[in-house]
Chain A
Amino acid sequence: MLKNIVEYSAPKDLKEAQRLLEQLAPRAQVVGGGLDLTWRERRDVKYLIGLDNLSLNFLELENGALKIGAQVTVRQLLESEIAGNFDSGFLRLALKRVATPLLRGVITVGGALAQAYPWGDLPALFLGLESRIVLFDGQERTVELGDFYSSSFREVLRRTIITQVILPLKEDRFSSYQRFSRVSVDIPLLNQMVSLKFQKRKIKKAKVLLGSRPGFPQELREVQDFLERKDLEGKAIEEASALAQKTASVEGDFRLSQEFRKHLIGIFLERNLKEIKRKYEDKFQAQ
């Protein structure tokens, strides 16, 4: 039991919720799934602001983007048909490995992105998919997830509520995700998200994120730059992997050594790129 909690309110109005949060900061916390509070036994929090009455569990396709309400759980996203078709089923495959089947029913998309645990799956995935995040701090604004994370986002979240995550759909984008874990159901000890947009056979834009390093996802810019305007033929994959190995930065912790993480970087990139190549060829074979 979180003994220090004195109040759990569940406002029906977004403005009211944000106002409460701001007023009671820093001893207030919004409750997405609530896992961060129960699991970490947050003793610094006194006031809980539930988000379940704010109608934030919508999931819609609109204007070429998937709009995910912040209260949508990983399970809901995984089981929805819309998400199932996203990027030819890529999102579903990736989400299937997050946490455990039970925790997927608790973890919310907003909550996962807000907490951004060093070993999380979602930050790397959503950064790779060029997500935008909708924030409310009295006023609504939409920012690129990457920019949000580059700011002092934890500070911002003391008074701001994430209401929505937007995943733009791109016809010409292919993604692949690799993660290393100790057993099948486990946090990732290293993960890598690769998303490539093609024009004809050449890569127009590349997103390569390395997460759970064990820290916050790193964008492998040199690799991204290298991949742009190339195709995936010849030695491109091999060279990209070697470059990734050279430029990525990983640490060791009691879960996995630095050397092992380093070793996996190149292998992941090779596997991701080969998978994307296969998907691309499958799609264009059919045409």
Chain B
Amino acid sequence: MNKYRGVGQDVEKIDGQALVTGEPLFTDDFSLPGMLYGKILRSPYAHALIKEVDTSQAEKLPGVKAVFTYRNVPRRAYTTAGQGYPEPSPYDTFILDKKVRYVGDRVVTVFAESLSIAEEALSLIKVEYEELPAILDPAEALKKDAPVIHDEPEIQGAYDPKRNIVSHVELEIGNVEEALRGSRFAVEGVWETQYAQHCPMEAHIVISYLDERGKLVVRSSTQVPFHARRILSLLLNVPISKIRVIKPRIGGGFGAKQEVLIEDLCALATLRTKMPARLELTREEEFVSSRTLHPMRVKVRLGADKDGMLKALDMDILSNTGAYGTHGPTVFFNAGSKTLPLYNKAENVRFAGNVVYTNLPVAGAYRGYGATEGYFALECAIDELARKMGMDPLVLRQKNHIRPGETSPIFKKLGEGREGVPQVVVSCGLEECIKKGMTAFGWEKKRMLSREVAPGVFRGYGMAIMMQGSAIPLVDMASATIKMSEDGSFLLLVGATDLGTGSDTILAQIAAEQLGISMDKITVYSSDTDFTPFDKGAYASSTTYLSGEAVRKAASLVKEQVLSVARLLFRSSGEMELNDGFVLLKGTEKRVSLEEIGYRSFYMADQRQIQATASHVSEVSPPPFAAHFVEVEIDTETGKITPLKYVAAVDCGLAVNPGLTKGQIIGSIVNGLGFALSEELRFGPRGNPLNPNFLDYKVLSTLDIPEIEVILVETHEPSGPYGAKSVAEVCINGPLPAVANAIYDALGIQFKKAPFTPEVILRVLKKVP
């Protein structure tokens, strides 16, 4: 039952038509005369000093316009992390350095008149390296005589770089050891996740140029245009007022583009040569030299009393952040802050661990932001506990999960790299998610079936529950400007970043709802640091919840301005309503069109521009919740695991656009299934990547997906626009534990390491040595 006109409807994406007709909307669909092409020379070593670099031959090559080495670029420690200032990530990166820290690290960059010339120039560069011992496993990083990966004096913000530690935390509520000792049932285990990559179909790409005023314009496939502007200003020593960052349509990001990854080199080329410049990563570079998921080892200990009430919850993490610490501390914190509160009945909670450097690709922000790794461990441990108790794993969860009106001390204790913010969960449809999900899935019936369906072929059923957050409380800010044109149409200017998520559309829906107009009366401009007001960017599941509320606020201010003109025209202060481009005086036949108000306001009387800007910061981060159920079939002769059916019941408050919401949910589920079944970036003994391409890094296709059913459970989140929360990330947390639990259900084997490949299944079944 939808009481809104626009919000809650399956409105077609406003950029949809342009996308299906192939309009030139993406960064690369735009070029300028004289544009230079950049190529980066990459390190073949995991850890080495650059002893000598000779670029003389490259510089002489006709068509080469700029060659950058550590010697001729600004040296300033920074973080590439697209986060609010001051960033909770270490400043441990340089544009180009005298040291390389992973296979694929930057060594030299060339800009030339064509890609061919740039590639040829790279082949003319001679580099002499002094190889250093490399750390290829996070446990090695902590050892006493481990090589120091970040020994530069300029490093700031890392916990103990001499011991390769980026972040270290140990916090406790109550007394976990005592509680575990006193628990009737306890389980303990270590779960491990792999290196995985976002694989956005569009790789990182940026084009920069000087506009007619000499202002540096950076057109980038980025999730964080405002952070990019600030960080570029710092790095290149150019005032913010002289930089403009524009985000056109992006071909996917998923967190990989929550970075200022390659804008620095491109901008530098433009500043030095005064020419437009373009830099794009190859698919191989996207795999190895952009960003990845954080591989983590998560140890979970749980203790419960005889009735199954959790008494102790302990999570200890070793997180591998790769060669640079971007997002290292915050992803780590999130692994606890988005998981532990789910089981708030446990009064004794401990969260601890280390984030360490290794000489491997750089882990960064990835949809889920640490919660994915945390839930793999936690939700598998819960199942293990249920088994120990002889209890249905669904029932154990029902006893212990957070309910509306409840809180958890973790909200305050664990924030994004620092202390968090206390909150009470107001909207929580998890109970209903579990009920509806289990019914749609047939949980009880299925679990009574025999698991062996044919000789050697087994079926299993698993579940997981999860939550995430909506924006970062008290840190994230979003804003929106709405201005009216004389014909009763509006321009909505938002800093918010649409990565394909459809945020432009849903923000327009929210504005349209407030203003009582149809979608075709709104034009959205987004993510231009000169023309749109600030938005922190697309991450932490913020856009619907935070940017949406800023839009609603701005629209309601504009509405008030419109109504004040209407009052003059009606000569009445009676109750009014905005509907379909008109202001209606309630209880009468009187109405005036927005067009009339528009013309009057521009040209005729009490002239003014009807417009408002509003910002929003949230004091809370209301979690979306979900319950997932999966049925898998395993061929124990070949080890093949086939997911047959997947049910996801999701509470995201009000779904502003149900069709787009479902798309987000399904997309994140399929990505999560990839983590569970096939995705892994693998390395050789020298830290060299073995499969940086789609031939050998297997992303699921249409033939690999199960039947997927999405159930939207609507709740009302009062702090969100029209009761909405965000939903972008939460469902990626389900597949790893749900599938692992299903495999246990089928075969009695507990998978503690992702991905769950046939090879590992057969090894565990002892069919393969």
Contacts and interface: CB of A to CB of B under 8 A. Distances in A.
B682 A260 contact: no
A113 B767 CA distance: 34
Interface string B682-694: 1010000011000
Contact of A257 (B677, B696, B759): B759
Contacts of A180: 638, 758
Given A182-B678, A182-B757, A260-B768, A187 B695 contact: yes
A259 B678 CA distance: 19
Interface in B613-656: 637-638
B241 interface: no
A161 to B, nearest CB: 28
A182 B674 CA distance: 11
Interface in B740-769: 757-759, 762, 767-769
A182 B701 CA distance: 12
A263 B678 contact: no
B768 A183 contact: no
A143 interface: no
Interface residues of B, number: 24
A159 B704 CA distance: 43
A61 interface: no
Contact of B703 (A182, A184, A254): A184
B31 interface: no
A186 B116 contact: no
Interface string A250-261: 000011110110
B700 interface: yes
Contacts of B698: 182-183, 186
A180 B758 CA distance: 10
A255 B762 contact: no
Given A259-B768, A260-B762, A263-B767, A254 B678 contact: no
Nearest to A264: B638
Interface in A161-183: 180, 182-183
A263 B638 CA distance: 9
B700 A183 contact: yes
Interface string A1-24: 101000000000000000000000
Interface in A53-92: none
A49 B554 CA distance: 65
A53 to B, nearest CB: 29
B76 to A, nearest CB: 36
A221 B758 CA distance: 29
A256 B768 CA distance: 12
A180 B638 CA distance: 8
Given A183-B677, A187-B695, A263 B768 contact: yes
Interface of B: 116, 120, 637-638, 677-678, 682, 684, 690-691, 695-696, 698, 700-701, 703-704, 757-759, 762, 767-769
22 contacts: A180-B758, A182-B678, A183-B677, A183-B678, A183-B703, A183-B704, A184-B703, A184-B704, A185-B701, A185-B703, A185-B704, A254-B682, A254-B684, A254-B696, A255-B696, A257-B759, A260-B759, A260-B762, A260-B768, A264-B638, A267-B637, A267-B638
Interface of A: 1, 3, 180, 182-187, 254-257, 259-260, 263-264, 267
Given A3-B116, A185-B703, A264-B638, 18 more contacts: A3-B120, A180-B638, A182-B757, A183-B678, A183-B698, A183-B701, A183-B703, A184-B703, A187-B695, A254-B691, A254-B696, A257-B759, A259-B768, A259-B769, A260-B758, A260-B762, A263-B768, A267-B638
